[in-house]
Amino acid sequence: MDCFVHLGYESLLSNLNSRDKYLAIFDVPPETLNTQLRRSVNGDRFTDLDFIKAFLCQILKISKFYKLKILYKPKYSIKNSPTLNPQYNIFLKKIYSDFSDNLIILNPYVRIGDIIEKSDIVLNIPYTSSMKFAENMKKKSLFYIPTE
């Protein structure tokens, strides 16, 4: 089963329930070990698969507890990037299966502004530009680092 919803612009705006609370997350896909090693020399682990898994799993557990719907936008390169960790798509299918009631994996081509507009809050991997987009649109936006 393909976990990608592939919502377009109109369906994104019309299919969301206005009574629900939405939390947006913008993907930083995990890189292969080879690519990640170059970053980790400088202390950057934000594209490490274990970091991404912890980031998403903690947010999904919190969102389930607070009955939030997650709007998750993956990067454009999610299927065909030579630097993408091959375990990532397997992980996405698993979390979609485990959290399908509150996880909406969006088409990578949905505009970031449309997602932020429909969100109540945006959680960001540290130092990503999605935080600035949300702040400019007057939405609550935070960097989040997993605690485990």
Strand 68-73 with 103-105, pairing: parallel
Q: Rounded to an integer, what distance in angstroms lies between the CA atom of residue 64 and that of residue 68?
A: 6
Residue 29 structure tokens: 């896909």
Residue 47 corresponds to which tokens in the numbers above? 């594209």
Contact 131, 33 (CB under 8 A): no
Q: Which range is least confidently modeled, 1-5, 53-57, 107-111, 125-129?
A: 1-5
What's 41's DSSP letter? T
pLDDT at 6: 47
Give pTM, 2 decimals: 0.76
How many Å separate Cα 109 from the centre of its chain? 13
Nearest Cα neighbor of 70 from 115, 136, 126 is 115
User: pLDDT of 8-34, one tens digit each?
Assistant: 444 554 577 778 999 898 876 665 666
55-75: per-residue pLDDT in tens?
A: 888 999 989 899 999 998 877
